[in-house]
Amino acid sequence: MIDFLKGPVAHWETEYIVLDVRDVGYRVFTPNPYGFARSNEPVTVYIHHHVREDAIQLFGFATREEQTMFRKLLDVSGIGPRVALGVLAGSRPEAIVAAIQQENVTFLTKLPGIGKKTAQRMILDLKDKLGNAPLAFGADPSVWDTNEGKGTTGEQAIAGAWPEAREALGALGYTAAELDKAFEGLRASITAEESVDSLMKRALQQLFKG
């Protein structure tokens, strides 16, 4: 079973990258192909090796946390690899974990491919299995509060607007590491009323600063 692959990105499309590992091209489906594609250097991609009767597919992630969250999502009844990939394209693992533990159906239904019934199944199937998962995912539950009307430092925008802004910036080719750095520079100043466009503009300023 493949756990990770390392090599330069030989090709990319909107849904996948082709990783050149010792002259063998591996097609890897990933939440943000453009994040990997910006680098000409070898990259490490953490893999979920998905095997079924009619296909063998590789799903890849920039971090162990994304890989772990993807596998947990597959344990939910009704969520397959493509939906799980869309969920991770829409938000960071720590925000998803926090929303599940807070039973925030509103937040979860904003994720691609997730309706109300699926969101409820995510909570039912995963809440008791996550334990102290927010800390394991690098999340402080007090920061990743996804409940409406709570928080004084922009938790709603962090959990709602930022994932959308992050996805759009990722589509422009910025890497997960670059976006995480920009987010750290913005987090203290994000307000609950801030829009996705506003966050994108301010994040771009952070990115241009380096």
pTM of the model: 0.67
Nearest-angstrom CA–CA distance, 79 and 86:
10
Nearest-angstrom CA–CA distance, 210 and 205:
9
The reported pLDDT for the residue numbered 197 is: 76
- Cα 48 to chain centroid distance, Å, stands at 15
Nearest-angstrom CA–CA distance, 168 and 121:
28
CA count, 13 A, side-chain hemisphere, 196: 11
**Residue at 209 is within a domain:** no
> Quick one: 100 and 136 in the same domain?
yes
> Quick one: 156 and 135 in the same domain?
no
Which residue, of 124, 140, 156, is where some domain finishes?
140
Report CA dihedral (82, 45, 111, 93) to the nearest 10 degrees.
Answer: 130
Q: Which domain holds residue 37?
A: 4-62
> Quick one: 22 and 49 in the same domain?
yes
> Where residue 83 sits, what CATH number does that domain have?
1.10.150.20
Which residue, of 122, 140, 158, is where some domain finishes?
140
Given a contact cutoff of 8 angstroms between Cβ atoms, the answer to whether 51 and 1 are in contact is: no
The reported pLDDT for the residue numbered 145 is: 52
Confidence of residue 79 (pLDDT cuts 50, 70, 90): very high
**Residue at 116 is within a domain:** yes
Is the per-residue pLDDT at 142 higher than 60? no
| Tens-digit pLDDT profile for residues 146-169 | 554 444 444 455 555 777 777 778
Rounded percentage of the chain residues whose pLDDT exceeds 90: 32
> Quick one: 57 and 98 in the same domain?
no
Give the count of domains, the chain.
3
The reported pLDDT for the residue numbered 177 is: 77
DSSP 17-81: EEEEETTEEEEEE-S-HHHHHT--S-EEEEEEEEEETTEEEEEEESSHHHHHHHHHHHTSTT--H
| Tens-digit pLDDT profile for residues 38-71 | 667 899 999 999 988 788 899 999 999 999 999 9
Q: Based on the number of CB atoms within 10 Å of its own CB, is 30 exposed (0-12), middle (13-18) or buried (19 or more)?
A: buried
